[in-house]
Amino acid sequence: MMDCTKWLCLLFCVVLLLLKAESSYVPITFVQNAVTKGAVCLDGSAPAYHLDRGFGEGINNWLVQFEGGGWCNNVTTCLSRKNGRLGSSKKMAKQIAFSGILNNRRIFNPDFYNWNRVKIRYCDGSSFTGDKEEVNPTTQLHFRGARVFAAVMQDLLTKGMKNARNAIISGCSAGGLTSILHCDRFRALLPAGAKVKCLSDAGYFINTRDVSGTQHIEQFFSQIVATHGSVKNLPPSCTSRLSPGLCFFPQYLVSQIKTPIFFVNAAYDSWQIKNILAPGVADPEGHWHSCKLDINNCSPDQLELMQGFRAQFLRALTVLGNSPSKGMFIDSCYAHCQTEMQETWFRTDSPLLNKTTIAKAVGDWFFERKTFRQIDCPYPCNPSCHNRVFEPENQPEV
């Protein structure tokens, strides 16, 4: 009889095989000529991306996905990123798995599997908006995110993106914010006759008070913009009206975006609950610690505050108006980033709204088969949710 240890080992191997079957591995490309243009990571290394070439009918279609990973808001936090993969391409994995919206198999990614699929690595800490010429000789920090965006786009244009017939700029978390901030800029790079749209996954960060009553996230975003010199790369339609730090919040600028855009977001976004509603600085005694790890651990009072957060999130979405060009899939899951994970993008047990997966909603909207603007009922009404459960050490906070 096989003992429990052997059963666990067998189960682990089966899970690994299933994960491998649901993804492919794509090698890294370094944009070496970007260095001479000053388009570099925080440590001065070359920017990078992973490209899986399209095939068949998708040969002239492009999906450009920006990696997430938070931000750094001052010299100290940027130095802490500088020597890791979020600040240096020297520390990046030489190949990464493509799954979900990046998958190259039709059964896992029906509408975009044969497109040119690109994952742009994140190493500037500003959602690709920073641009300061000076480099401090002591810290050797380079704030050049906007230049990285331009250099990588130019490299992709020379590799065939200039002939795009269909294109999407997308991203998750800080990358989802990138796809919002650079949406119209991306559209302007491509042929006038191309169908170009934008997709933001978990990038709709809202400006609200934390549980202590402080505008913590507003201060944090303002510090990012100041540290990186981002103001000139934020939408002028916003900066002409509001302070630059506010123009990092989608709610103050999405109404001015001209390119069609789709928002995938959890109304109880786990990153926003952990870092905007209940950041560590607002909860010094750790009352929210267990709740933030697993929504099932939340007390009735905490759930009430989270319902209040959802109400504010939905209020922040109202600026989108009723245009069918601005689609949305707003579920009531405790999740963050759902398009790159196969289980939440397109699988038999994926989250559903109106009996529709995220993959089908985005595909229908992009190809204009039907509009999709769905907001879920309040937690815990949706049994199809994949609610995240975090390990204690996986608690990055702003």
Which residue numbers are catalytic?
A: 173, 269, 336
Q: How does DSSP assign 91-111, residue by residue?
A: GS-SEEEE-GGG--STTT-TT
Beta bridge partners of 329: 264, 374
Give CA angle at 52 (348, 61), nearest 5°.
85
- What is the Cα–Cα distance from 259 to 326, expressed in whole angstroms? 9
Q: Which of 394, 330, 388 lies closest to 356 in space, CA to CA? A: 330
Q: How far is CA 245 from CA 46, 103, 257, in A?
A: 28, 35, 18
Structure tokens at 274: 């952990």
Verify cis geometry, omega within 30 degrees of 0, for the bond prior to 380.
yes
- What is the Cα–Cα distance from 71 to 68, expressed in whole angstroms? 9
Beta bridge partners of 172: 201
Q: Which of 379, 388, 386, 378 lies closest to 350 in space, CA to CA? A: 386
Q: How does DSSP assign 314-363, residue by residue?
A: HHHHGGGTT-TTEEEEEE--S-S--SSSHHHHSSTT---BTTB-HHHHHH
